[in-house]
Structure 1
Amino acid sequence: MAFEPPQRLVRALPLGESEWLGQLPKLLEDAVVRLGLDVERVVAPGGRSSLVALVRRPDGSPAALKLVPPSAAAGLERAALECWNGFGAVRVLDASEGALLLERLHPEVSVRSLPESKALLEAAGTVRRLWVEPPAGHGFETVAERTGRQAAALSEHSDEAPPALVAGALGAREELLAGAAEELLLHGNFRQSKVLGGDRVPWLAVGPEPLVGERAYDLARLVRDRVEDLIATASGPSAARRRVNRLADSLDLDPDRLRGWTLFRAVESATRAMASGRGREAELSLELAAWL
């Protein structure tokens, strides 16, 4: 099946995934034949870590076929989506290694398209549905495990960010983990662009990188959404702090814990962005971190 992978995906994938990228046309064709699908189109610009094609099932019903590289752990994404079973998240229709057949959402309509205050409200209402007890015998990693790897990398590349911010981020993580009590299933990569319009319900989450831990960790990435808008205003620092307090209050969270995880995740994300040549993205995250 001949097609050009979206350039966003091509640019974002690490070099180690080049073999998978080259096999994409064959992988898509194999999945389409196995499931008896008709392809309408490949979603573009699409995501940075997967290929999504809009398809029709043998009965004519719409669906979306998602192909992910081996490093993306599609099995864990599938396990989380099946645990949620369509409550707050996209529903799994079929799955095999490296491929997920999902209910069709509206990829061109995300919560990010709404005015900021409405977007935060809808996003918060969606993510709270995902915070459930993880299934027995689950294979999800914990917040401590994931952030442990990230903290080690952050320490190794500490010259990519101001020393005070790096120290503050690492210290916040240690303090937060020492007082962590919640063990809930989390989305892991939740932000406005991960909430798409649906037909069953208005908004559904997609693209989880699931793990187990406290809710404040899951909400921290949402704080950084539209950071460029905050930075463009003179009231940016106070607006950022109000956003933390507002989100924490709307979901009955401790604002200090949300602030701490936002600091860690912003600084960690900035160092990765800097190492990947995404300097502007790194600068925005570091500026927000300095305001917290």
Structure 2
Amino acid sequence: MALEPPRRLVDTLTERYGAPRANAWLGRLPGLAADAVAARGLTVERPVAPGGRDSLLLLVRRPDGAPAALKIAPPFAGPGAERAALAHWKGWGAVETYDTAGGVQGAEDGSVLLERLRPEVSLRSLPDAKALLEAAGTIRRLWVDPPGGHGFETVEERTGRQAGPMRAGRAPAVLVEAALDARAAMVASAREEVLLHGAFRQGKVLAGERAPWLAVGPEPLVGERAYDLARPARDRVEDLVASESGASSARRRMNRLADSLDVDRDRLRAWALFRAVESATRALDAGRGAAAEVLLEFASWL
């Protein structure tokens, strides 16, 4: 299969996992895609561009002609966890998978066959107030008890792994220390364990046929809901930073989001601080100074 990986996929994998690891998998991607398509008897229409940040998405037709989407992710991106979470949600608030969580298909090549959504239409296409409302309704459905004996990472584990690079990174020390202190306090006082999307934001909620809006691309983990809200709390942060009332608008927006989902405001603020500084650290390490500057400005308001 002639296949050129989308630029965003190449850049994100390189930033997150390093060039040697990313390039090795990207070199195998055409063969992996061809095998996954053949194994399911699919017909490929086209790749989605710019597509996902850590996976290739192909629009396909199933053997009966029904539309679907085939997602292929590298093993180091944890596709098994995504498959397990989607299987557990069973299409409630999230894209539905046509593969079983423990099935042979996708177990080796990191692929999963999904219902076809509209990748070009996300919540970011809506006015912000409406997008916030729809985002809250969608994420609420995902917060369920995890399956028994699950192997999902916890919030404490994931953020603990991120703490080391934050200390060694180039973000301002005062913000890094504040973020790590907030993380320590939240972990020590956590009392909630639900299944979380892990990467939820407006761009991860797409228009569908079965339901108006469905979440895609989870990086699932188990922990408190405030952690999951911390990323959508800074959606459209560029607009906030550009506004003269950005700081106060951001805090009001965050409070509305917390109140709409009965999440503690202070816990949301703490996790929003940690996640913004962690994202800024990665952006600085990748040479994306402008993006890091925006994130650090947002973090300074918290």
Q: Smaller-chain TM-score range?
A: over 0.9
Unaligned 5+ runs, structure 1:
none
Question: Percent identity between the aligned chains?
Answer: 68
The equivalent of 2:254 in structure 1 is 244
Q: Are 2:135 and 2:202, in contact at CA under 8 Å, matched by a contact in 1? A: yes
Residue of structure 2 aligned with 1:265, choices 275, 280, 283 = 275
Q: Secondary structure at the match of 1:92?
A: coil
Equivalent residue pairs, number: 290
Residue of structure 2 aligned with 1:17, choices 4, 15, 22 = 22
TM-score (norm 1): 0.98
Paired residue type of 2:69? A
The equivalent of 1:59 in structure 2 is 64
Structure 1 residues 237-274: Cα deviation after superposition (integer angstroms, max 9, x where no partner): 00010011000000001100000000000001100110
Trace 1:1-292 onto structure 2 (pairs within 5 A): 1-14=1-14, 15=19, 16-94=21-99, 95-97=105-107, 98-157=110-169, 160-292=170-302
Paired residue type of 2:88? C
Deviates more, 1:192-201 or 1:23-32: 23-32
Counterpart-to-counterpart distance in 2, 1:89 and 1:124 = 13
Deviates more, 1:92-101 or 1:128-137: 92-101
Unaligned 5+ runs, structure 2:
100-104
TM-score (norm 2): 0.95
Shift of 1:3: 2.2
Shift of 1:289: 0.3
Q: Are 2:146 and 2:222, in contact at CA under 8 Å, matched by a contact in 1? A: yes
Q: Secondary structure at the match of 2:46?
A: strand
Counterpart-to-counterpart distance in 2, 1:105 and 1:56 = 13
Counterpart-to-counterpart distance in 2, 1:153 and 1:161 = 10
Shift of 1:22: 1.1
Structure 1 residues 150-201: Cα deviation after superposition (integer angstroms, max 9, x where no partner): 11221122xx122221111011011111111000000000101000001000
Shift of 1:133: 0.3
Counterpart-to-counterpart distance in 2, 1:13 and 1:181 = 34
Paired residue type of 2:90? N
Q: Which runs of 4+ in 1 moved over 3 A?
A: none
Shift of 1:31: 0.7
Q: Are 2:145 and 2:194, in contact at CA under 8 Å, matched by a contact in 1? A: yes
Counterpart-to-counterpart distance in 2, 1:114 and 1:251 = 20
Paired residue type of 2:5? P
Q: Are 2:10 and 2:22, in contact at CA under 8 Å, matched by a contact in 1? A: no
